[in-house]
Amino acid sequence: MLRKIVRIDEERCDGCGQCIPACAEGAIALVGGKARLSADVLCDGLGACLGECPRGAITVIEREAEAFDEGAVSAHLARRGSAPPVHAPAPTARPPSPAGRPRLAVVSDPAPEPGGGCPGSRPRTLPGRTLSVVPGGPSAPGAAAASRLGHWPVQLQLVPPAAPYLQGADLLVAADCVPFAYPRFHEDLLAGRAVVIACPKLDDNGLNARKLGEILSRSDVRSVTVVRMEVPCCGGISMAARQGLAASGKDLPLRDVVIGVDGALRGPAGS
């Protein structure tokens, strides 16, 4: 049938994920670092996601598509552990955004359901945190450990390449098993750095290398520290960092830190 449906321009999409929570039907997902329409039957064509894209990559077009199916939406959200959306009356147009893009909205914009959308969709600096090194030694016995994480998101494919927290930052590229193995990850490695995490074995390591290249090209990162596990497959995260740095054309300090599966530090830590 011919109907209105969302179109996402892959060339303009930078994978920030801000559109995902705006879709109550869960029709949009990040695939390979890009926002994609999961299935035609999940998109109602109302365009609540339009104004959430900072790059104007989302439009509503008219094309041949399967009919919107609320039953399919309910089943899809149930698999994700989300409640079905409550559909509001037909949308009204908002005034054009400053960039000239039309913005559409339903009468009442629902808050994202628990478990729905993408928790890493909006880049932010965490309140009360900074990327400066926190002085002092280990916490006293019985004291609560302080988190050194100063921003969100951290998953490599969710991080906007030109995020404000990357500007002038020392970048930590961490294999995602490292924080579980190394007990002083926050104090010795994370403090004072922006961080991205990835798995060179379970992720597409080519995508990891391309995303790191984009980050290093579009931000003024000062240095790169790679921290990985000692297992052979984890060496891919170092390879991705080197390939990304080479692709960026920049000459930045890069070093490797290796963590043993027993939690021991096999290389230098600290600043």
For residue 93, the Cα-to-chain-centroid distance in whole angstroms is 29
Give the best-scoring range by mean pLDDT among 33-37, 75-79, 227-231. 227-231
Band (pLDDT 50/70/90 cuts) for residue 77 is confident
Burial class (CB in 10 A: 0-12, 13-18, 19+), 59: middle
Give the pLDDT band (50/70/90) at residue 18: confident
Mean pLDDT of the chain: 80
Residues 50, 58: Cα–Cα separation, whole Å = 6
pLDDT tens digits for 96-126? Answer: 444 444 443 333 333 443 334 444 456 667 6
Global pTM?
A: 0.55
For 206-238, letters b (16+ CB in 10 Å) and e give ebbbbbbbbbbbebebeebbbbbbeeeebbbbb
Give percent of the chain above pLDDT 70.
Answer: 75
> 191: closest CA among 142, 225, 153?
225
pLDDT on residue 235: 92
Residues 6+ apart with CB under 8 A from 127: none
Q: What is the predicted pLDDT for the residue at 233?
A: 87
Q: What pLDDT, in 10s, does the model give residues 136-177?
A: 444 444 455 689 999 999 999 999 998 899 999 999 999 999
Q: Report the pLDDT averaged over residues 74-92.
A: 62
The angle formed by the CA atoms of residues 246, 190 and 188, to the nearest 5 degrees, is: 110
Tens digit of each residue's pLDDT (9 = 90 or more) over 208-258: 999 999 999 999 999 999 999 999 889 999 999 999 999 999 999 999 999
Please give the domain boundaries of the chain with CATH numbers for all domains: 2-105 (3.30.70.20), 124-259 (3.40.50)
